Amino acid sequence: MPPSTAHLPAGRIAALRQAESERFVTAHPQSLALARAAQAHYLFGVPLHWMRDWPSPATLFVREAQGVTLHCADGLRYADFCLGDTGAMFGHSPPPLAEAIAQQAARGLTCMLPAVNAVAVGEGLQRVFGLPRWQMALTASDANRFVLRWARAVTQRPQLLVFDGCYHGAVDDTLVDLDPATGRTLPRPSVLGQVHNHAAFTRVVPFNDLAALKAALAQGDVACLLAEPALTNFGLVPPAPGFWAAARALCRQHGALFVCDETHTISTALGGHARAHTLEPDFLVVGKAVAGGLPCAVYGFTEDMAARMAAAKDAAPEGHSGIGTTLSGNALTLAALEAALNHLHTEASYRHMLALAARLEQSLRERIARAGMPWTVTRLGARMELQFMPETPQNAQDVRDRAQSELEALTHLFMLNRGVLLTPFHSMLLVSPATCDADADRLLQVFDELLVALSVG
Ligand SMILES: Cc1ncc(COP(=O)(O)O)c(C=O)c1O
């Protein structure tokens, strides 16, 4: 298969990227000044080092974000399709959420006791996601970490099973790769300060590969399969038809729990992919957008699991469980979560998101076909990925083999310079209830300009 940039004149992408970098510098004097000043206070000049992983030549500083409109330090306006990499999937500061947070902020932030709305929040979680019992954390990374402890505790099994290309947050056990030559687990080389050998307790198999899954489960020592319903952090790789029904059956057959990480795939439908496709997880993890972007994550589980978790806790000696953090389930978070469950996780939100995302997907596909580019668009509900490869990938190795990182970086910067924000690292775009036709039209217009720029010699 020819690389999907082989038809472009040599050097075109690099030349365009250089021109776009210069354009960014000229248009963003305030961001540049802030970026220089911030070097004195922050590692790499940013509060979190990932913020320098965007392909712009300097950090873009944000003045304000509301709905899907973001204004940078230089007063320029952007239609935001990154949406905080899903944290702001329902739009930035939706009014019912901002109001609930402001009201609770005057009534106590954290007490290490449940606020009186805890019951209403539990009812809301069951209504939206279907599972009856819940616990809270502040980040999806934490929620995944805690669920892994519960899963190992209740099954008394050591092994974790994940898919190659997975990302479940800063969870040590999951930061591993698959060695394609041997099928063995490898530590992810980019992970800093790693001393524990997670290869000893984590098995990795390719996504959409039932034979490999079966072989990994057959040894009878897997506590749980931790998986997103579709890979969303290594491009967007959807499940093959029938994959999950068979995978779920294999987990049951071999006594392994199924932990479904819906942190990104809640873009699929109201209540997430697992609910829409009846995946029947033992545990369900949702973070990021679950409380509209205020730090919050939740994990839900079945009654059977709750009984097994209670038994494991009762059987353990008094003392630290290794599960939980002081601020988890705090009053401010509960207030935000209640408002989000009532006003954001709604049929109306998803009706709008899914319809507009479908139109955008179709329009991008038409443009790609007209321009004769060997690219595709893969969509999962409200999120889609512009993929610089001819077909939707089947697993992480497909993505590794075909990735076009230079073209992705150019696309990102080209769009940013024209007022459209895509997610960095891969070209993901997410449609929120606040995204309107004009935002989609703006994106399509800029995409047209990119296609022209790439084709003009
Ligand atoms: C599927 C998935 N799970 C968990 C996480 C971790 O979320 P957080 O960084 O908010 O802890 C991420 C982050 O991107 C994610 O994509």
pLDDT tens, per residue, the chain with 457 residues: 444 566 676 689 999 999 999 999 999 999 999 999 999 999 999 999 999 999 999 999 999 999 999 999 999 999 999 999 999 999 999 999 999 999 999 999 999 999 999 999 999 999 999 999 999 999 999 999 999 999 999 999 999 999 999 999 999 999 999 998 998 999 999 999 999 998 899 999 999 999 999 999 999 999 999 999 999 999 999 999 999 999 999 999 999 999 999 999 999 999 999 999 999 999 999 999 999 999 999 999 999 999 999 999 999 999 999 999 999 999 999 999 999 999 999 999 999 999 999 999 999 999 999 999 999 999 999 999 999 999 999 999 999 999 899 999 999 999 999 999 999 888 899 999 999 999 999 999 999 999 999 987 5
CA of 199 to the centre of ligand 1 (A): 21
Q: Name the token pair of 407.
A: 């073209």
CA distances (Å), origin 182, targets 56, 178, 201? 38, 8, 17
Under a CB-based contact definition with an 8 Å cutoff, are residues 120 and 338 in contact? yes
Q: Is 168 in the pocket of ligand 1 (CB under 6 A)?
A: yes
Model confidence pTM above 0.85: yes
Strand order in the sheet with 62-66: 62-66, 69-72, 77-80, 420-421
pLDDT for position 1: 41
Residue spans of beta strands (DSSP E) within 42-158: 62-66, 69-72, 77-80, 133-137
CA of 37 to the centre of ligand 1 (A): 30
Under a CB-based contact definition with an 8 Å cutoff, are residues 354 and 381 in contact? yes
Under a CB-based contact definition with an 8 Å cutoff, are residues 277 and 244 in contact? yes
φ and ψ of 396, to 5 deg:
-65, -35
Q: Is 233 in the pocket of ligand 1 (CB under 6 A)?
A: yes
The span from the CA of 47 to the CA of 38, in Å, is 9
What three-state secondary structure class fits 174? helix
Pocket test for ligand 1, best of 142, 144, 168 (most atoms within 8 A of CB): 168
Atom of ligand 1 nearest to the CA of 169: 6
Q: Is 167 in the pocket of ligand 1 (CB under 6 A)?
A: yes
Atom of ligand 1 nearest to the CA of 144: 4
CA of 85 to the centre of ligand 1 (A): 9
What three-state secondary structure class fits 293? coil
- Would you say the C-alpha torsion 52, 54, 58, 61 has a positive or negative sign? negative
3-class secondary structure for 124-168?
HHHHHHCCCEEEEECCHHHHHHHHHHHHHHHHCCCEEEEECCCCC
Atom of ligand 1 nearest to the CA of 141: 11
The span from the CA of 336 to the CA of 400, in Å, is 39
pLDDT for position 2: 43
pLDDT for position 425: 80
CA of 23 to the centre of ligand 1 (A): 32
Under a CB-based contact definition with an 8 Å cutoff, are residues 388 and 408 in contact? yes
Pocket test for ligand 1, best of 85, 172, 288 (most atoms within 8 A of CB): 288
The H or E element that residue 419 is part of is none
Q: Is 261 in the pocket of ligand 1 (CB under 6 A)?
A: yes
Q: Name the token pair of 235.
A: 């491009």
Q: What is the rounded radius of gyration, in angstroms, for the C-alpha atoms of the chain? A: 22
Atom of ligand 1 nearest to the CA of 288: 10
Crossing angle of helices 210-217 and 243-253, rounded to 10°: 10
Q: Whose CA is nearest to atom 9 of ligand 1?
A: 169
Under a CB-based contact definition with an 8 Å cutoff, are residues 53 and 45 in contact? no
Q: Which residues pair with 69 in a beta bridge?
A: 66, 79
pLDDT for position 198: 87
Which of 44-53's residues contact partners 24+ apart within 8 Å by CB, and which partners?
53/424, 53/425
Q: Is 140 in the pocket of ligand 1 (CB under 6 A)?
A: yes
Under a CB-based contact definition with an 8 Å cutoff, are residues 93 and 65 in contact? yes
Counts for the chain of helices (H) and strands (E), in that order:
14, 16
Crossing angle of helices 12-27 and 405-416, rounded to 10°: 30
